[in-house]
Each structure stands twice: as structure tokens, then as C-alpha cells.
Amino acid sequence: MQSRFTAHGARTLLAALFACATALPASAQKLALNQSDYFESRGAEVLVFSNPTGGTFNDAKTSGVELIHHGVRTATNGDVRLHHTPEQWDPMAEMVSRDVQREGRRIDVEMRYDTLDFSYHIRGEARDDGFALSVVLDEPLPDPLAGRAGLNLEFIPAEYFGRAFLMDEDSGLLPRAAAGGMTMRDNGETQPRPLASGRQLVLAPEDAGRRVRIRATESTADLMLFDGRAKGQNGWYVVRSLLPADATGVVAEWHLQMNTRPDWLREPVITHSQVGYHPRQQKRALIELDRNDTARPEARLLKITADGSGEEQFAAAVRDRGRYLRYDYAEFDFSRVTEPGLYRIEYGDQRSAPFPIGEDVLASVWQPTLDVFFPVQMDHMRVREAYRVWHGASHLDDALQAPVNYEHFDLYAQGPQTDTEFEPLEHIPGLDSGGWYDAGDYDIRTQSQYAAVRQLVHAFEEFGIARDNTTVSQEKRYAEIHLPDGKQDILQQIEHGTLALLAQHRALGHAIPGIVAAHLYQYPHLGDGSTKTDNLVYKPELDPLADERTVGELFAADTNAPRPPRRTLNRDGDHSGVFDDRWAFTNRSTALNYGSAAALAAAGRALRDYNDELAAESLQTAQRVWRDEHSREPALFRHGNTTGGRLPEEQLKAAVELLKSTGDQQYADGVRQLLPEVRDNFAFNVPALVQAMPLMGDDYRAQIRELAADFAENQRQMDGENPFGVPITEFGWAGNGAVVYASIANYYLHRAFPELVDDERVYRGLNYLFGTRPGGSYSFVSGVGARSQTVAYGSNRADFSFIPGGVVPGALILPPDLPENRDNWPFFWGQNEYVITVGASYLFLANAAQSLLESQ
């Protein structure tokens, strides 16, 4: 595909368009520094390192200089980078200091690449005609960075698909699929060719809402426009100017202008449950408003009739709920309407999606999670749905022992010993059993596995879920969706997770942090999980390069390094010489061991009469773990989020589950002993502490009630923090997990102490997931509700599709005040990545809400 038109007719036409674009005033209002320390005018905002670079998973596309254009964040990562189109794991500089100069309408940021001994300044400055972005060097560029370091700014492709660009007198269309071609350097590294280069770039000249002009000053190198998706599907369009060698001072400067519409206002958003409401629920819609929007028309609830017309059922003035983050909110409460039917809300010119009111509204919202999401996540299985095969049986070569004294990616590490009988890179037999893909990647993260198993067990026990809509055969490593087999699906999923946990204890004697791709070039694999490895166990004798392999050369952080070619090597039955097997990280952690034991004890109850042999082994293993950990000093190995939670809390879960499974007094004593250590984190431990109450004495119940009363009072005090009535976290991973867990805690407390905790606190969490939340309104449960998140981050993400029943992380609060969830770009893992823990918890919460409503 040609991205630049050189034919005379095309150039003439687009040259006229260019003349039009350059004549139109851009950024008509002057940018000013606001109280949140970013540049602002009506419809145009520029953030200058409001969010520091890097993070848990490196480049999250939420840092550097960023543009918010007519309410939408369209550009990020304005900074000095070392590649034309950096990938996620490429180096990023660290922020040293940030100086906001309000009088000068300027922000200066000192940045540093420590490993390269390279420091520089990024300067953002408001000018009457737009914004100046500069790189300032106190010392010349280090020689190794000449021709590598450049000023980059990345534009999200989804906002520019199909739009045009103008580079000087050349022109083209921004491609929907990766384009531009590639070049190869002498070291074998590949990099994209520019789509265009020149002195002035105009993006979307034909669209007043997205038009951006970037001009390089006279002393600055040419602008180059790249398509980063040629290196990775999550790449963005990148604008770049190389920094000069042997220069100091202002070595690169761009003038940016964002076209703005005069008196622009973001349209009101009617946030409501996209699923609908039970007649006995409180029914509140929150109208999200631009802070400059002072109109407050009346809101109306219309009942939709068979001919499509709407009959007004209720109308009222909206109630002001104040400001949260960057938006104002008004409330429309229509709780008095209880008649079953189909409805919509009108507010000014805005209409909501249709939604029902009815007693069965919540009865089936959890079913796609059990029917589709969990089967699709099943590792070591072939999964089919009607005509579609989601993936083949994957990772049948699990797993090699990870090397010692090694820090991996994705928060895995191996300490100075293996804590097993296996040598580094030796195959550990028996780990190719059970387990779910942890998230949008393909890990077996043990902490996620045991949390999901426990939550599924609790849902099964609490609500008696008996649904059968899926065939699962462990013997055949096969699952088929929408094909009943006479067995309860939830028990089959509990069995699948339990098999993975037991495999670790069988093979190694303890729970392990997890199993993950060995090589960074494998880690971002997209598509069918069965193609990630050859599914044959690695055998060094079949690998002619085995003696040459070192950890250092295999795991360079620079993903732009050449990828090892896939070679057809010797094969011997189930073994091959292809070094592509996943690695097992195996250090013993007492916290992790207790967490695994808790899930196994719970599974031992649920699997009785379904798989008695597995049930017995699960409970016996959990009891052995308890004995073993009480007979020795705790193993305190910690790294990232893969080695278990806080030790007292993981031990509490094990004590409660063992108590429920056996009634043995030693576990009740364990709960009493642990209560002083876990009470300060009561909100997190509510389910375990409340579940133990029927098996403990009155004194224990009195202590829990006292803690519950304090918890309820704290919730009431926090209600004013946002208009949604749920805890909204504000850090690098969006907060749906916290919303769901808080709602589940409220369910247990309401059941135990209804005089302290109202059932509405349970329903609020679901309403938030279903669309009553900041930054927009669609359901965060894919495929559930009139509008839902259908471009999400799963194994399907490269297809811009979704997995029904998956729950995404939600609205990410980007500092200082932007709630964001992108429904057109799946590659934001912090907003849109499915995880099994939240999926299992949502399944529980949806059943809990329906159960409460039915009990009324």
C-alpha cells in the first residue's frame, strides 16, 4: 500500500486542502496553566509529565507530554526516545525533577537515562500561537546516541484511522493497517521507514475536531512520521525529530497547534446501568457534564412502546452532585418507577441506550462469564465454540526450571536457589495440567489461580449454581462451549483450576509463583496459545546451540534486538531441540503456600460427589501444607505480585477454609490468633472473617460486629469522595477489582449484620460495572448490556474484538484528573485487560445481588 500520493492530481487536490488547513486558526484560545498544573484552553489541553514515565510494566502510554483534544487523549509519550517507534520494554528515561513556572506559562522537566549517563530537559511552553515543545541539553549528546536519540510524540491510531496527513507539500492517508515498509540495520535490527518527512506536519487537516499542526523550527531536524504497528500491534503513529550531535542548548523545538472549536462543550453523558434494574433497586442515573456546561434541563424517563415511541413515565429536575475529577455531575433518581418494561432516559438532546426494568434483569448477566470467558481462558486445552476454535491445546511442554539469581519480566524472579530438586533449565514433569491464562497474556500466575478457585467455590456453595452449557474433558484436553455434557460447568472450572494447583504440589511439594514465557520475544505473543511453543519438551541433546546459551544473551531488555529464527531442529518423540518452553519460577513462599492451601481446602468441599479422588487429595494437600508451615520457619521470599499476599491474611484464608472443610478446632484457634494481625485491613478480609462466624463463638461474632460497625461508618464518610458511592482507585491499574471486592464485602456484612450495612451497597458495585461510572457509559462486562466494552485486551486483542463475559479493569484515573477507558483501542492493559480473578468475583457478585433481591 502506498502511503504517499505523488500523482499530479492527488497532489493538487491535497495541496488545496493543505492551504485550507494552514489558513484556519488553530488553538484559537491561549493556553494557560491551571491549578492542576497542566496547560488548558477550551477544547485543548497539554500535560507535561503529569504522570512519571515507566511503571510496573514499563511503557503504559500514559506519560511524557500528552495532548487532550476536545476531551479525548490523543497523544502521549512526548519525550526523548532511542528508537523511531519504541516498544513496550524499550528504555525510558526517569524524571528527576519538574519545575512549574506559572508566570512564564512554562514547565521544565529534568530527565535522565541512568545506564547511558545521559541527562536532558523537556520544556513545554504556552505561546500565543500554540505550544512549544523543546529538548534542552547542557552537554552534547553522548556519541553512542548520535543518530538514535530523538524527540518523539505518539498519536493513538484509533483516533486517526482513515484521516489524512500533510507533510509540507506531500500528503497521504493514515493507514488502518501497519504500513510504510521496513529497513534493516547492520546489526540485524529492523525499524520502520517513515511514511513522510519534512518541516511541517498537519494531522487530520480535514477534521476540525482532530486537526493538529506540528512545525519544526529552523535549527531542528526534519519531522518524520512513522507507523509503530509494524514493530508491534500496540504501536502508535509516531512523530520524531533526531537530536543533533555536538550541540547544546535548545537542540530540538516543535511548535504545536491543536485546532479548537469556539465555545466547545463536551456533550453530556447519561451514565446508567446498561443492563437495567430490578424493580426493588434504587435507580439513579448520573449525568456527566463539561465543567463549562451550566445548563440543567429536566430529565425524563420514557417507556419504549412497540411502535418505537416513548411514553413519559417520570420527569424531574436533576440534583447537583458537585465536581469529581474534571467533570460536574447531576443526578436523576427514578427509583419510584417499578413497572416492568423497556425504558430510556432523555436529557436535553441526549438519549440513553434502552434498558429494562424487571425481576429477571440480573438473573443471567453472569452466564457469559461461566459459559465463555472461563472456557476460553483454559490452558492445556483445545477450546471450541460452534464453528470457532478459540485455541488449541497449549503449553504441553510445561515447564523448565527457571535459572537462579535471575529477575525476569512481568514481576517474576528466581532467588539464589530453586527450592526444588531440579537443575536450572531442566524439565519439571507434570505441570502441563489445568490452569487458566491469567489475563490477556498466557501466564499461569498461581496467586490468580487460587483466588479464582476460591471465589468459584464460594459462588457454588452460596448460590447453588447448577448451569450446564459446556463440555469439558480433561482426558481429551478438550472443551466445547454451548454443548452441555450433563455436568455442572462451575464444578468443571473448579476442577480445572484445582488440577493446576495440585500439579505444583505433586511435582515440587509446594506452591510456586507461576509459569511464564521464557523469552521476551515470546511474551507479547498474540493469537492461538497453542502456537506459542512447539508443545514438545525441550531436550538439550537435540539442540546444537545448547552449550552456547546464556541467560544474559537470551534476555536483553531491548526488544528491538533481532528475534531468534524459528528453526526446525532434531525431534525425538515428545521432545525437541527448540528452546521455547515456558519457565517455572519455583521459590517457596509461605504466603503463597497458604493461599494455595486455602483454595485446595475449598475445592475439597466443592468437588465431593463430583470427583471424590481429587477432592480428597485437595483437602489432604491443604492439611499437609498447614502442618508443614507450622513446623518450620516461614519462607519470606517476595517479588512483585507473584509470591502471595500478606502472610497473616493468606494464613487466615487457609485457616477459614480448613475450618469449614473439617470443623477441626486447631483451625478455629488459628483464626482467633490471626484476628489481631488482620483486623487493621478488615475491608480486605471481610469474606474470610464473616464465613468463619458460624463455626466460632459469640465472642468472635461480637468482635466482627464491632469491626463491621467501624467499616460501615468509614464507608459513610467516604461516600462524599465521588458521586458513584463506590471506592474508585487512582493509580496505574483501573479499579473495577476494588469496586467488586468492596461490593462482595458489603454482601457478606449485609447478610451478617443487615442493621449495619444496606443492600444498596451491593447493587452499586454492579451498577458501576454496568455503566454508572466516570468517563462514559458502557458496561465493563464484555457482551453484557445494551452497550459494552467490545474492544478489549485478551488473547483476541489484535483482532479488536472481545471475549464474552470478560470483565475489564475499567476507568483508569490518569493524573491529574482524567478518567479514561478506551472503547476503540484494546492495547491499554491497565484499562481493558481481562483477568480471571475479577471474572470469578464478578460471577459471585452478580449472583449475590440477584439472591438478595429474590430474598426480599
Q: Does 695 have pLDDT greater than 80?
A: yes
Q: Does 407 have pLDDT greater than 50?
A: yes
Q: Does 620 have pLDDT greater than 80?
A: yes
Q: What pLDDT, on the 0 to 100 scale, is given for residue 556?
A: 40
Residue 363: count other Cβ atoms within 10 Å of its Cβ. Answer: 15
Nearest in space to 323 (alpha carbons), one of 553, 36, 93, 736: 36
- The structural domains of the chain, with segments of one domain joined by +, span 8-258, 269-357, 366-661, 663-856
Q: Does 18 have pLDDT greater than 80?
A: no
Average of per-residue pLDDT across 423-438: 97
Overall CATH class of domain 8-258: mainly beta
Segment 181-236, tens digit of pLDDT: 999 877 778 889 999 999 999 999 999 999 999 999 999 999 999 999 999 999 99
Average of per-residue pLDDT across 266-284: 98
Q: Does 1 have pLDDT greater than 70?
A: no
Segment 97-150, tens digit of pLDDT: 999 999 889 999 999 999 999 999 999 999 988 999 999 999 999 999 999 999
Domain 8-258 identical in fold to domain 269-357:
no
The pairing of strands 583-585 and 575-576 is unpaired
The amino acid at residue 459 is A
Q: What is the mean pLDDT of the chain?
A: 93
pLDDT band (50, 70, 90) for residue 856: confident
pTM > 0.85: yes
Q: Does 543 have pLDDT greater than 90?
A: no
Q: Does 557 have pLDDT greater than 50?
A: no
Q: What pLDDT, on the 0 to 100 scale, is given for residue 216?
A: 98
Segment 792-809, tens digit of pLDDT: 999 999 999 999 999 999
Average of per-residue pLDDT across 471-497: 98
Segment 32-51, tens digit of pLDDT: 999 999 999 999 999 999 99
* Cα 706 to chain centroid, rounded: 36
Q: Does 171 have pLDDT greater than 90?
A: yes
Q: What pLDDT, on the 0 to 100 scale, is given for residue 632?
A: 96
Q: Does 587 have pLDDT greater than 60?
A: yes
pLDDT band (50, 70, 90) for residue 5: very low
Q: Does 599 have pLDDT greater than 90?
A: yes
Q: In the chain, count H helices and then E strands.
A: 16, 44
Q: Does 57 have pLDDT greater than 90?
A: no
- In CATH, the architecture of 366-661 is Alpha/alpha barrel (1.50)
What number of residues does the chain have? 856
Overall CATH class of domain 269-357: mainly beta
Q: What pLDDT, on the 0 to 100 scale, is given for residue 544?
A: 80
Segment 810-826, tens digit of pLDDT: 999 999 999 999 999 99
**Regarding predicted confidence, which is higher, 181 or 687?**
687
Segment 363-392, tens digit of pLDDT: 999 999 999 999 999 999 999 999 999 999
Partners of 571 in the β-ladder: 576
Q: Which helix (H) or strand (E) holds 497?
A: helix 489-508
Nearest in space to 441 (alpha carbons), one of 358, 520, 508: 520
Q: What pLDDT, on the 0 to 100 scale, is given for residue 546?
A: 74
Q: Does 2 have pLDDT greater than 50?
A: no
Residue 282: count other Cβ atoms within 10 Å of its Cβ. Answer: 16
Residue with cell 451498577: 767
Average of per-residue pLDDT across 60-71: 96
Residue-by-residue DSSP string for 239-305:
EEEEPPSS--EEEEEEEEEE---TT--PPPEEE--SS-B-TTS--EEEEEEETT----PPEEEEEE-
pLDDT band (50, 70, 90) for residue 22: very low
Q: What pLDDT, on the 0 to 100 scale, is given for residue 29?
A: 58
Q: What pLDDT, on the 0 to 100 scale, is given for residue 549?
A: 57
Query: Which stretches of 117-235 are assigned E, i.e. beta strand?
Result: 118-127, 130-137, 150-155, 164-167, 170-173, 182-184, 190-192, 196-198, 200-203, 212-216, 223-227
The amino acid at residue 438 is D
Average of per-residue pLDDT across 527-547: 90
- In CATH, the architecture of 663-856 is Alpha/alpha barrel (1.50)
Segment 623-671, tens digit of pLDDT: 999 999 999 999 999 999 999 999 999 999 999 999 999 999 999 999 9
The pairing of strands 350-351 and 39-41 is unpaired
Average of per-residue pLDDT across 773-783: 98
526 phi, psi to nearest 5 deg: -120, 145
Lowest mean pLDDT among 25-29, 240-244, 465-469: 25-29
Q: Does 400 have pLDDT greater than 60?
A: yes
Q: Rounded to whole angstroms, what are the CA distances from 131 to 123, 259, 390?
A: 10, 12, 48
Handedness of CA 642, 646, 647, 653 (dihedral sign): negative
**Regarding predicted confidence, which is higher, 554 or 726?**
726
